[in-house]
């Protein structure tokens, strides 16, 4: 299973936008903070907007904001909006019937992999990812000095 940079950057952009509590965030700021090319980010934002994850706000203080609460957006929906199917093999796609079902010994394995992917991504909300990123950022900012006891 390979997740494209498009899906990875889409999630990162949503996290960055979601961290601003509904205030519009210019793509330039997202690009700088996340180290993503602004041109590529514009394409990704267009996909995210069409999929209903973000809204564009025009004007001097415009940018993008989430179209719905972060707790209502899950990673599975974002990844599939950016990638299409994430099934590990075609025979486990929702609408695909396997011609080798009677002779293939691996279909069960691929179904378990598919279920695990859907469960992990579907059970992870944007709010979860924002919280995780805040913890990571806080950990980078806080430097604890080692405690020394006199000998």
Which sign, positive or negative, has the C-alpha torsion 10, 16, 19, 22? negative
Give yes or no for residue 150 having a pLDDT over 70: no
- Note the pLDDT of residue 143: 55
Q: Torsion angle, CA of 127/129/130/135, rounded to 10 degrees? A: 130
Neighbours of 28 (CB within 10 A): 11
Number of H helices, E strands in the chain: 6, 2
Residue 93 falls in which region: left (phi positive, over 0), alpha (psi -120 to 50) or beta: beta
Answer whether 18's CB lies under 8 Å from 55's CB. no
Tell me what percent of the residues of the chain surpass a pLDDT of 90.
Answer: 65
For 65, the 3-state DSSP assignment is strand
Q: Which of 26-30, 57-61, 111-115, 140-144 has the highest mean pLDDT?
A: 26-30
Give the pTM.
0.84
């Amino acid at each position: 299973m390979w997740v494209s940079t498009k899906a990875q950057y889409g999630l990162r952009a949503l996290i960055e936008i979601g961290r601003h509590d509904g205030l519009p965030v210019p793509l330039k700021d997202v690009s700088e903070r996340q180290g993503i090319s602004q041109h590529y980010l514009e394409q990704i934002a267009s996909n995210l907007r069409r999929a209903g994850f973000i809204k564009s706000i025009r004007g001097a203080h415009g940018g993008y904001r989430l179209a719905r609460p972060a707790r209502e957006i899950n990673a599975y929906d974002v990844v599939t909006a950016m990638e299409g199917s994430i099934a590990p093999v075609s025979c486990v796609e929702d609408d695909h019937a396997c011609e080798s079902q009677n002779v293939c010994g691996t279909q069960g394995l691929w179904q378990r992999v598919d279920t695990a992917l859907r469960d992990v991504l579907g059970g992870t909300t944007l709010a979860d990812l924002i919280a995780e990123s805040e913890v990571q950022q806080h950990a980078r900012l806080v430097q604890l000095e080692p405690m020394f006891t006199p000998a």
